[in-house]
């Protein structure tokens, strides 16, 4: 306990209320820098006395939803607990403002779209701001890359200001002076430096390879960004002709007949007796007459469709696997815009399908091409029966609306164990160095890593992001040599190869023979946010003299202590961060991963912006209070999905209001004998507690302190809240009522002094126990009788409370009081009704407990003659009641 000034009744409002507390204390905390991180203190402390949090940078593109409130509240409760335990807490805030979400929001908000071929217009003004529009590309005004980036910068700053306001209102104890944006100079320099070091060590590489492509966003998509969805389609039973055997056919079943022009093989399982005679032979494709082999592979499914499948380049990821493992040729026809290529492919030119391709398929969408191919198959007789409708599983970009295509392009990758068994095993082992909370979430990490089938694709064909920091030499013939990669000095970072020349070159050599070209792509947003510990903690850039470099602090904080996040991005953010730390530092990025569940709507579906079922928290907080919303969030355990429940928020609001009112009551007895305000020690305050019931209450509270502390230490914040809240309601409903008469002096000053001291100690302890969950109500009450902030006080410990009390006394007396209340209620009388006479029966031990507090029970229950008798449980018998008129009474 801390020394404090004398309690001042003038500080206690006549009618305590939650209204206005957020505005009041937000300003105080901001002005007094209540939650500021003390760098110098951190550097002077042992590492285990510093607690560093890798705060998730929320995506700054629009509005937050209650899911953010849920997970960030969990983190904040732990931050507040660790701070009260005396640790120096590093709790930064970042904003993830680069990437596709921001670009899409800017397009919709301003009615523009980026066009890399246009020149920069310094006087450009967007056609509109924030008005509803169709979202079609034809309705968007094309602007230069630089103009588009400027609009992204402007809008994300606006969004971040709104987010900060909400986060402050919710009482998140972040140090707002330690902040970053994933597009700012330091973040870009950090991401580029990490990439260049990956490149130098051979962990980053470029390759021309088939990859997933979103035709709407016009960008490559990584495996971690996939979402499998049902997509309507139809099975088409199609005949391939066995070469050298006129009239002999092999039927395959496909949902994508438009890919027949790109078929490179038919594949069946090696154990499938139906097709074993065909292995090693060839067939010709319908309509186009292209000869392809019939091959065996273990991944073919004998019980799916006809059991034999066509391998095209490329229809799905199985095609890619077969193409790679069976060393098949590449015959791609689908281009980046989702249409079939304009020129007739060379393997079709001169064949029976040349005219069909040129007239019906070239430049067509996959949908139109499918219809054209099906018509032609009917006419040729190669379609067996009619298409059978089905729902097929298709891969979508998680933010996209159309199935992904697979196209061949040059992209950048970082090795992540998807093609290297030793690296895969090492990364699984790294996961075992991290304590997952709850522990079962580690299996999600391991399942993801062990199931990888390719390296991490990090390049994106977009505008607003961190540029790939390389150039390529142009040879004397004007051809770009992608094998001659030109890199900058780390001291020059961040750089934009589209606007700056590489070392040793001048801008006028761009694109010319003997000159250079810049890499046009940006990095995947995860390639930057996967470095959030390095960005926030000051990982040195170059020589360590710029862009917020702080080698001493980074050495103290890294690896960090806590990564809080949702379970659905274990495969992306968590894993990517582990990969970067493993490659760069040879360690894990943090020692604990706290994994939150989802927030579900009333239909038990995940809330998300894309599903349109989110609830924005601003109005919810204003209606219920920040403490009430935090209570709802803290009631959900880590790793467990929770329902959005305004009813639970109302419970939290009632609790916060009760904290105010009960505290007003507990502080309403004037001076306390032995009070610290009189210049005495906490020990003297404890010594003033002499009554067995008071000592019992504080002994019970000591058990609560132990359980609440254990809850936090075991990452079960919810348990800490539950045990504290449960005791608090018993404290209010039973103990306050039992000691009311005595605290007012009804049994003399010595007994009153014990009650008042016990109340003061209990209130001091309870406020600190509740502080991580209800920061506003607890801070308000603390200010009524103490100095400083409750959030900078020490976490309570058993040693602060008087020893020697028996928790069973309060339990037995509360049970007896419940019996008295019951008989009055059953008689339909108010609680102020007198009990002329009654018998209390129960086990002898419990009756002895009651006798220790008999005076309090008599006063509270308005009991006259009280007899005792044996019984199996506490029960009131033979009660004679006297109704009384209702009169005002003191109440908490």
pLDDT at site 213: 84
pLDDT at site 134: 57
pLDDT at 15 over 60: yes
pLDDT at site 113: 83
Mean pLDDT of 51-55: 98
pLDDT at 226 over 90: no
pLDDT at site 66: 80
Give bridge partners of residue 254 from the DSSP assignment.
236
607-662 pLDDT, tens digit per residue, is: 666 566 667 788 889 999 999 999 999 999 999 988 888 899 999 999 999 999 99
Question: In terms of C-beta density within 10 A (0-12 exposed, 13-18 middle, 19 or more buried), how is residue 597 classed?
Answer: buried
pLDDT at site 159: 80
328-376 pLDDT, tens digit per residue, is: 999 999 998 889 999 999 999 999 999 999 999 999 999 999 999 999 9
Residues 432 and 578: their CA atoms lie apart, in Å, by: 11
Question: In terms of C-beta density within 10 A (0-12 exposed, 13-18 middle, 19 or more buried), how is residue 131 classed?
Answer: exposed
* Inter-CA distances, 628 with 18, 25, 609, 649, 771, Å: 10, 16, 24, 5, 13
pLDDT at 705 over 90: yes
Categorize the per-residue pLDDT at 674 as very low, low, confident or very high, splitting at 50, 70 and 90.
very low
Question: In terms of C-beta density within 10 A (0-12 exposed, 13-18 middle, 19 or more buried), how is residue 611 classed?
Answer: exposed
Phi, psi at residue 417, to the nearest 5°?
90, 0
DSSP calls for 336-349? TTSBB-SSPPTTTT
781-838 pLDDT, tens digit per residue, is: 999 999 999 999 999 999 999 999 999 999 999 999 999 999 999 999 999 999 999 9
377-399 pLDDT, tens digit per residue, is: 999 999 999 999 988 788 888 76
Phi, psi at residue 499, to the nearest 5°?
-120, -10
556-569 pLDDT, tens digit per residue, is: 999 999 999 999 89
Sequence-ordered list of residues with C-beta below 8 angstroms from that of 679, at least 6 positions apart, any chain: none
pLDDT at site 462: 79
CB 56 within 8 A of CB 71: yes
Mean pLDDT of 216-239: 83
Categorize the per-residue pLDDT at 697 as very low, low, confident or very high, splitting at 50, 70 and 90.
very high
pLDDT at 722 over 90: yes
pLDDT at 453 over 90: no
Sequence-ordered list of residues with C-beta below 8 angstroms from that of 628, at least 6 positions apart, any chain: 18, 649, 650, 652, 653, 656
pLDDT at site 677: 47
Categorize the per-residue pLDDT at 228 as very low, low, confident or very high, splitting at 50, 70 and 90.
confident
**Rg of the chain over all Cα atoms, to the nearest angstrom:** 35
pLDDT at site 610: 58
Return the closest-CA partner of residue 397 out of 610, 641, 601.
610
| Averaged pLDDT score across all residues of the chain | 91
pLDDT at site 10: 64
Sequence-ordered list of residues with C-beta below 8 angstroms from that of 318, at least 6 positions apart, any chain: 299, 309, 311
Give bridge partners of residue 863 from the DSSP assignment.
835
Residues 334 and 210: their CA atoms lie apart, in Å, by: 11
């Amino acid at each position: 306990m801390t020394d404090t000034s004398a309690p001042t009744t003038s500080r206690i409002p006549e009618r305590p209320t939650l209204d206005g507390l957020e505005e009041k204390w937000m300003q105080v905390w901001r002005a007094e820098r209540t939650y500021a991180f003390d760098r110098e203190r951190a550097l002077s402390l042992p590492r285990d006395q510093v607690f560093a949090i890798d705060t998730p940078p929320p995506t700054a593109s629009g509005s937050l939803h209650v899911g953010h409130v849920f997970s960030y509240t969990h983190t904040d409760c732990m931050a507040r607990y660790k701070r009260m335990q005396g640790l120096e807490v590093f709790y930064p805030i970042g904003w993830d403002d680069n990437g596709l979400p921001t670009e899409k929001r800017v397009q919709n908000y301003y009615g523009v779209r980026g066009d890399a071929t246009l020149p920069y217009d310094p006087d450009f003004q967007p056609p509109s701001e924030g008005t509803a529009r169709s979202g079609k590309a034809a309705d968007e005004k094309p602007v230069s890359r630089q103009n588009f980036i400027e609009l992204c910068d402007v809008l994300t700053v606006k969004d971040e200001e709104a987010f900060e306001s909400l986060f402050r209102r919710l009482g998140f104890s972040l140090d707002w002076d330690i902040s970053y944006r994933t597009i700012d100079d330091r973040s870009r320099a950090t991401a580029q430096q990490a990439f260049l070091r990956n490149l130098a060590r051979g962990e980053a590489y470029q390759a021309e390879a088939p990859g997933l492509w979103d035709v709407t966003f016009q960008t490559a998509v990584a495996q971690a960004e996939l979402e499998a969805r049902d997509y309507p389609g139809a099975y088409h039973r199609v005949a391939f002709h066995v070469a050298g055997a006129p009239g002999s056919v092999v039927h395959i079943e496909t949902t994508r007949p438009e890919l027949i022009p790109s078929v490179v093989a038919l594949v069946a399982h090696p154990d499938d007796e139906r097709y074993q005679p065909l292995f090693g032979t060839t067939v010709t494709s319908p309509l186009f007459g292209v000869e392809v082999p019939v091959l065996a592979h273990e991944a073919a499914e004998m019980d799916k469709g006809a059991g034999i499948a066509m391998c095209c380049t490329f229809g799905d990821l199985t095609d890619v696997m077969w193409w790679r493992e069976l060393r098949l040729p590449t015959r791609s026809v689908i281009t980046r815009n989702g249409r079939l290529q304009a020129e007739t492919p060379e393997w079709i030119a001169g064949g029976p399908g040349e005219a069909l391709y040129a007239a019906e398929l070239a430049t067509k969408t996959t949908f139109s091409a499918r219809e054209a191919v099906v018509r032609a198959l009917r006419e040729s007789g190669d379609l067996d029966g009619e298409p059978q409708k089905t729902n097929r599983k298709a891969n979508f970009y998680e933010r996209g609306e159309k199935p992904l295509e697979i196209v061949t392009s040059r992209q950048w990758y970082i090795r992540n164990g998807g093609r290297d068994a030793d690296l895969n095993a090492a990364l699984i082992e790294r996961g075992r160095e991290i304590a997952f909370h709850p522990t079962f979430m580690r299996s999600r990490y391991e399942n993801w890593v062990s199931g990888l089938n390719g390296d991490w694709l990090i390049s994106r064909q977009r505008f607003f992001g961190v540029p790939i920091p390389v150039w390529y030499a142009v040879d004397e013939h004007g051809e770009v040599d992608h094998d001659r990669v030109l890199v900058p000095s780390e001291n020059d970072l961040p750089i934009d190869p589209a606007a700056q020349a590489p070392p040793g070159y001048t801008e006028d050599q761009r694109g010319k023979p003997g000159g250079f070209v810049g890499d046009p792509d940006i990095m995947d947003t995860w390639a930057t946010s996967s470095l959030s510990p390095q960005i926030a903690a000051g990982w040195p850039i170059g020589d360590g003299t710029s862009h917020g470099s702080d080698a001493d602090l980074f050495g103290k904080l890294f690896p960090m202590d806590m990564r809080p996040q949702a379970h659905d991005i274990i495969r992306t953010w968590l894993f990517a961060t582990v990969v970067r730390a493993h490659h760069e530092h040879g360690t894990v990025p943090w020692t604990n991963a706290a994994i939150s569940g989802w927030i579900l709507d009333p239909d038990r579906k995940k809330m998300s912006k894309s599903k349109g079922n989110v609830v924005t928290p601003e109005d919810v907080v204003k209606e219920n209070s920040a403490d009430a919303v935090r209570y709802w969030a803290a009631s959900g355990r880590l790793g467990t999905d929770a329902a959005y429940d305004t009813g639970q928020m109302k419970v939290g609001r009632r609790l916060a209001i009760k904290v105010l009112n009960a505290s007003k009551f507990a502080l309403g007895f004037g001076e306390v004998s032995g009070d610290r305000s009189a210049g005495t020690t906490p020990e003297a305050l404890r010594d003033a507690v002499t009554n067995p019931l008071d000592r019992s209450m504080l002994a019970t509270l000591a058990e609560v302190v132990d359980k609440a502390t254990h809850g936090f230490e075991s990452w079960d914040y919810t348990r800490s809240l539950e045990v504290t809240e449960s005791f608090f309601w018993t404290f209010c409903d039973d103990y306050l009522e039992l000691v009311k008469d005595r605290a007012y002096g009804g049994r003399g000053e010595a007994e009153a002094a014990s009650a008042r001291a016990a109340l003061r100690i209990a209130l001091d302890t309870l406020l600190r126990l509740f502080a991580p969950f209800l920061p506003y109500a607890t801070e308000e009450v603390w200010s009524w009788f103490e100095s400083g902030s409750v959030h900078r006080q020490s976490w309570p410990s058993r040693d602060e409370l008087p020893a020697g009390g028996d928790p069973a006394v309060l339990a037995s007396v509360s049970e007896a009081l419940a019996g008295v209340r019951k008989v009055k209620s059953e008689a339909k009388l108010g609680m102020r009704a007198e009990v002329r006479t009654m018998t209390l029966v129960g086990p002898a031990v419990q009756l002895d407990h009651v006798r220790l507090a008999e005076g309090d029970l008599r006063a509270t229950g308005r009991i006259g003659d009280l007899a005792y008798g044996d019984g199996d449980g506490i029960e009131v018998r033979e009660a004679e009641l006297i109704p009384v008129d209702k009169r005002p009474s003191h109440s908490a």
